[in-house]
Amino acid sequence: MKNIEIFKRVEQKYVLSEKQYKDLMKLISNHLSEDEYFKSNICNIYFDSDNFDLIINSLEKGYYKEKVRLRSYNVPNLKDKVYFEIKSKLDGVVYKRRVTINLNDYYDYLNGKSINSSNKQIMNEIDYVIKKYDLKPKYFIAYDRLSYYDKRDESFRITFDENIRSRNDELRLEYGDSGKLYFDDKKYIMELKCNGGLPMYFINALSKLKIYPSSFSKYGNIYKDSLKEEVYV
């Protein structure tokens, strides 16, 4: 993956049925190019406090939200590169900072050792948030992603995530990407990432198919479902 460490952008999410996905791609595919890493299996470890303060604040639509996660593209081994990230949202704008480390270094960090990272300042910021809230690994969440960008404006990107799955045990990336599927039927989470307005062809396609934004959060929805399961245990 490209080693970009700081992101600032506007993001919009949509939940699509399989038919909506296929119909939309018929209308917009001529305007898109496949990303360099078009197909990827994204694996994440989400951090939170024992009281799940971060995700509860996010679900309550706080003015400022933040998440801490460890991410890999495909299942890594201990020597592979992974991304330690802090993602925040302020007044609708998403900011993401991340450092690149080896998976082995991540486990050294959890054991209290100092580690070398691609950006010491960002690593210090992640470390500060983890210690401030006493964050720990809480959920593994994986999904299969297709990534595109606009042929005329590479800053406009579209991703489609499917087969969202999770587990709250065996919270190690190298243990594989298995987990409980979130959706019972075929659905896609479409995410738009842009620095400005949406292209007119895309706006017209959404309007024609009556596709509307959704505030879907993978971690948030999986966490809410876990609360429902506890009620029925």
3-class SS at 135? coil
pLDDT in tens, 19-28: 999 999 999 9
CA angle centred on 63, ends 59 and 64, rounded to 5°:
85
Weakest mean pLDDT among 38-47, 82-91, 142-151 = 82-91
Query: What's the Rg (C-alpha) of the chain?
Result: 18
pLDDT in tens, 83-130: 999 998 887 788 889 999 999 999 999 999 988 888 999 999 999 999
Q: What is the mean pLDDT of residues 202-215?
A: 95
| pLDDT above 70 for 2 | no
Average pLDDT of the chain, as a whole number = 92
C-beta atoms surrounding 120 within 10 Å: 10
| pLDDT above 50 for 233 | no
DSSP string, 138-196: EEEEEEEEEEEEESS-TT-EEEEEEEEEEESSS--GGG-S--EES-SS-EEEEEEEESS
Whole-model pTM: value is: 0.92
pLDDT at 80: 97
Q: For the packed helices 200-209 and 18-28, what is the interaxial angle rounded to 10 degrees? A: 140
pLDDT at 231: 47
Percent of the chain with pLDDT over 70: 94
